[in-house]
């Protein structure tokens, strides 16, 4: 009896496996990275794109599917592609950040990224992870529920990806090279974009504004992605409230709001309902800016939500869409109230009995001008150069091997494993910090984690140069955000307020300006995983580190061998 039960159980299991294998698709795509003329704001410039498209192609898959994306580099730049938010279980080789998990695909080269979507649903995206190519090399990656399962909310009548972006009239690679040379902040962008278009509020841009359709009584699931380079953004649709249902491809307990804020890297799924009088309404994004005395692009991008039944405008009478009233650029209370509304739909498995209790400062810094530099190379305040760090280490990418290859092949001298678990010096992080503490140390340091460790990280912003809300992203993992606050984290009282029941799960957390966030995850994914600020200007300055997660026991806990076509260094 026991035996036959066991066998029937096994049969059911085999049947289920066969069924799920039959249902899972493998999606093959070719991504040709190439220079393409793109005209925006009345100027045409040669732009690096995928397949000539800006933004790039939308990938649509089901949970459980596999992707094979063959990237062919026909540009003159080194390139890699990152699949932002995909956990890449045991396939770190396909993650993409250059010199972390692979060397770049050289001009003329190619590499096929192969990976499987495991237990993830919702809105993610892909982007270049090499220099500033992601300014134009990006697109949506939409994961539908597996065949036979459905959303935990009523399916919307329509779904529309909304990619917020940032456009420079100059070549973004020239912009970052100029900044790296001079040590000053890079030039700010000329426009923000929605699905690649700046919209009506910019001069010379109102002929190709993005139009999103809706009908009276219909719902539309907007999959909003902040793919801007350097700016956190508010997003609103005039007269239409949002029901927020997911962030970073993790479902939420739905709630209603009129405004959302996304840092670069973050996604938010919201449902709108066609419950207003038929007409045209602007959807708009504008900056959330927290750094003091920093230049930023203070413009607003728009698209148009258009009721299909809207009456045609009377001949000769211009009809302007209704404009939402966006928050002020420095409206931190609105951001705090938004992030505090995010909750998982039910109780979630937050790790307790923490093995690794880490405390990382995140912030800016200034290097004194090195003796062999000219004044033109020291254009920061008082003849300094801008930098940034975590725990006083300003991250330097290797240039001869990727960290993952160096680790796997036992190559010495590429990185060290002594990234500090706590700040090397304790100070009043958000107070008036002595200038003797402003210069970090450039280095390539990782922090080693044993397979399965339960990790807590306190991310503490510093006021060095200026406090700022930093969108911190971890590759290879989603994490729970169990707390946030302003000022210095207090280990004796702040843990009392941790949410260990239903905190949101994300891959990118906005650390409050002059404040802190606490995240937890279990290190079940072997590989080398970059953690960095997703403002590209800050990663350029070194606001990054990497975790080296060791293999566990057996095949399912072990990194796969490197693919044969992994680009050589
Ligand atoms: C950046 O701005 C400065 C000052 O306006 C200008 O001289 C420079 O050409 C700009 N750089 C690029 C790459 O456009
Ligand atoms: C940004 O633009 C808005 C609207 O034009 C204006 O009210 C505000 O003062 C500007 N802020 C800064 C810091 O330039
Ligand atoms: C600039 O240098 C002066 C003189 O050394 C110093 O007093 C001042 O604090 C410096 N300012 C900054 C922002 O570094
Ligand atoms: C910060 O500290 C410096 C050095 O102690 C002092 O000169 C400066 O006035 C202080 N600034 C503020 C805003 O308190
Ligand atoms: C960072 O390290 C440098 C070099 O040791 C030191 O001068 C500086 O004070 C340190 N700053 C912090 C915040 O630890
Ligand atoms: C391109 O990548 C190679 C290593 O694969 C590196 O040596 C070279 O410096 C890179 N070129 C640029 C412009 O970064
Ligand atoms: C094989 C291939 O497509 N090579 C291209 C690589 O990029 C350079 C620079 O743009 C082109 O000249 C090559 O044709
Ligand atoms: Cu940052």
User: What is the DSSP secondary structure assignment for residue 451, as one 8-state letter?
Assistant: T
Q: What is the CATH number of the domain that holds 58?
A: 2.60.40.420
87 lies in a domain?
yes
Q: Which atom of ligand 3 is nearest to the CA of 381?
A: 13
564 lies in a domain?
no
For residue 383, what are the CA distances in angstroms to 24, 148, 182, 183, 437?
57, 62, 10, 9, 17
Residues 360 and 407 in one domain: yes
pLDDT < 50 stretches in the chain: 1-21
Residues 241 and 325 in one domain: yes
350 lies in a domain?
no
296 within ligand 2 shell (Cβ under 6 A)? no
Q: Which atom of ligand 3 is nearest to the CA of 438?
A: 14
Buried b (16+ CB within 10 A) or exposed e, 51-83: beebbbbebebbbbbbbebebbbebebbbbbbb
Token pair 């066969």: residue = 18
346 lies in a domain?
no
Residues 214 and 185 in one domain: yes
Q: For ligand 3, atom 4, which residue shows the shortest CA distance?
A: 382
3-state secondary structure of 12: helix
Distance 158 CA to ligand 1 centre (A): 42
Question: What number of CA atoms fall less than 13 Å from residue 230's CA on the CB side?
Answer: 25
* Backbone φ and ψ of 14, nearest 5°: -60, -40
Which residues, at least 6 apart from 195, have a Cβ–Cβ distance to it below 8 Å?
55, 161, 162, 163, 210, 303
* Backbone φ and ψ of 529, nearest 5°: -125, 120
Q: For ligand 1, atom 1, which residue shows the shortest CA distance?
A: 187
pTM over 0.85: yes
Q: How many residues does the chain have?
A: 569
Q: Which atom of ligand 1 is nearest to the CA of 169?
A: 14
220 lies in a domain?
yes
Residues 188 and 321 in one domain: yes
Last residue of a domain, which of 340, 367, 382? 340
Q: CA 549, CA 315: separation in Å to the nearest integer?
A: 65
565 lies in a domain?
no
Q: For ligand 5, atom 2, which residue shows the shortest CA distance?
A: 440
Query: Quick one: tokens of 271?
Result: 């449902």
Last residue of a domain, which of 120, 144, 168? 144
Q: CA 523, CA 521: separation in Å to the nearest integer?
A: 6
Sheet (strand 470-474) strand order = 446-449, 544-549, 527-533, 470-474, 508-511
Distance 244 CA to ligand 5 centre (A): 42
pLDDT at 314: 60
pLDDT at 24: 82
Question: Residue 299, exposed/middle/buried by CB under 10 A (0-12, 13-18, 19+)?
Answer: middle
467 lies in a domain?
yes
Residues 254 and 199 in one domain: yes
Query: Quick one: tokens of 134?
Result: 């992601």
Ligand 3 pocket at CB < 6 A: 381-382
Residues 229 and 263 in one domain: yes
CA-based nearest residue to 232, from 292, 192, 288:
288
For every residue of 68-111, DSSP letters joined together read EEEEEEESSS-B-EEEET---TT-GGGS--BTTTB--B-TT-EE
**Count of C-beta atoms within a 10 Å radius of residue 396:** 15
Residues 94 and 167 in one domain: no
Last residue of a domain, which of 316, 340, 364? 340
Q: CA 488, CA 459: separation in Å to the nearest integer?
A: 10
Q: CA 182, CA 375: separation in Å to the nearest integer?
A: 8
Residues 88 and 172 in one domain: no
Query: Quick one: tokens of 425?
Result: 């010096």
Residues 13 and 86 in one domain: yes
106 within ligand 7 shell (Cβ under 6 A)? no
CA-based nearest residue to 334, from 510, 458, 463:
510
Range of the domain at 398: 356-557
Residues 185 and 305 in one domain: yes
Residues 336 and 360 in one domain: no
Distance 141 CA to ligand 6 centre (A): 28
Distance 287 CA to ligand 4 centre (A): 30
Residues 134 and 163 in one domain: no
234 lies in a domain?
yes
Structurally, the chain folds into a number of domains equal to: 3
pLDDT at 556: 95
Distance 434 CA to ligand 4 centre (A): 8
CA-based nearest residue to 57, from 26, 32, 92:
32
The answer to whether the bond into 55 is cis (omega within 30° of 0) is: yes
Token pair 């990006």: residue = 138
Query: How far out from the chain centre does Cα 219 lie?
Result: 27
Q: CA 519, CA 509: separation in Å to the nearest integer?
A: 9
């Amino acid at each position: 009896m026991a035996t036959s039960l066991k066998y029937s159980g096994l049969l059911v299991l085999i049947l289920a496996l066969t069924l799920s294998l039959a249902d899972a698709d493998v999606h093959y795509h070719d991504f040709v990275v190439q220079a393409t003329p793109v005209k925006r704001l009345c100027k045409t410039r040669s732009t690096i794109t995928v397949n000539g498209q800006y933004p790039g192609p939308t990938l649509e898959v089901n949970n459980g599917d596999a992707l094979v994306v063959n990237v062919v580099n026909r540009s003159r730049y080194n390139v890699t592609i990152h699949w932002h938010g995909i956990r890449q279980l045991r396939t770190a080789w396909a993650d993409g950040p250059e010199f972390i998990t692979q060397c770049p695909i050289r001009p003329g080269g190619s590499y096929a990224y192969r990976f499987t979507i495991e237990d993830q649903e919702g809105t993610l995206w892909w982007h270049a992870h090499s220099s500033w190519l992601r300014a134009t090399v990006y697109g949506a990656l939409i994961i539908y529920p597996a065949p036979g399962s459905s959303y935990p909310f009523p399916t919307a009548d329509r779904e529309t990806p909304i990619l917020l972006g940032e456009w420079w009239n100059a070549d973004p690679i020239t912009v970052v090279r100029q900044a790296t040379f001079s040590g000053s902040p890079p030039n700010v962008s000329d426009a923000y974009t929605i699905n690649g278009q700046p919209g009506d509020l910019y001069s010379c841009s109102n002929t190709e504004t993005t139009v999103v359709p809706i009908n009276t009584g219909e719902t539309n699931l907007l999959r909003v992605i902040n793919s801007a380079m350097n700016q956190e953004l508010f997003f609103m649709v005039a007269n239409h409230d949002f029901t927020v249902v997911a962030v970073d491809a993790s479902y939420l307990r739905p709630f209603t709001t009129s405004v959302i804020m996304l840092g670069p890297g973050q996604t938010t799924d919201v449902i709108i309902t066609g419950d207003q009088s038929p007409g045209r309404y602007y959807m708009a994004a504008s900056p959330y800016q927290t750094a003091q005395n920093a230049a930023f692009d203070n413009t607003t991008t728009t698209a148009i939500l258009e009721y299909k039944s809207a009456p045609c405008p009377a001949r000769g009478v211009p009809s302007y869409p209704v404009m939402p009233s966006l928050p002020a650029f420095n409206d931190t209370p609105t951001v705090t109230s938004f992030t505090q509304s995010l909750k998982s739909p039910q109780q979630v498995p937050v790790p307790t009995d923490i093995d690794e209790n880490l405390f990382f400062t995140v912030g800016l810094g200034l290097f004194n001008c090195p003796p062999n530099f000219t004044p033109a190379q020291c254009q920061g305040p008082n003849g300094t150069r801008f930098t940034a760090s975590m725990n006083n280490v300003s991250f330097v990418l290797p240039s001869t091997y990727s960290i993952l290859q160096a680790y796997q092949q036992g190559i010495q001298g590429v990185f060290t494993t002594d990234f500090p678990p706590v700040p090397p010096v304790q100070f009043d992080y958000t107070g008036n910090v002595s200038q003797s503490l402003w210069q970090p140390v450039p280095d390539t340091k990782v922090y080693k984690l044993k397979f399965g460790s339960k990790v807590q990280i306190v991310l503490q912003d510093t006021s060095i140069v200026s406090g700022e809300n930093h969108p911190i992203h971890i590759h290879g993992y989603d994490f729970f955000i169990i707390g946030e606050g302003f000022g210095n984290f207090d280990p004796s009282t702040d843990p009392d307020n941790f949410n260990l029941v239903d905190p949101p799960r994300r891959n990118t957390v906005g650390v409050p300006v002059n404040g802190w966030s606490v995240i937890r995850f279990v290190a079940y994914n072997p590989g080398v995983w970059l953690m960095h600020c997703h403002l590209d200007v800050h990663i350029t300055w070194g606001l990054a580190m990497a975790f080296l997660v060791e293999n566990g026991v057996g095949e399912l806990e072990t990194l796969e061998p490197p693919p044969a076509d992994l680009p050589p260094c």
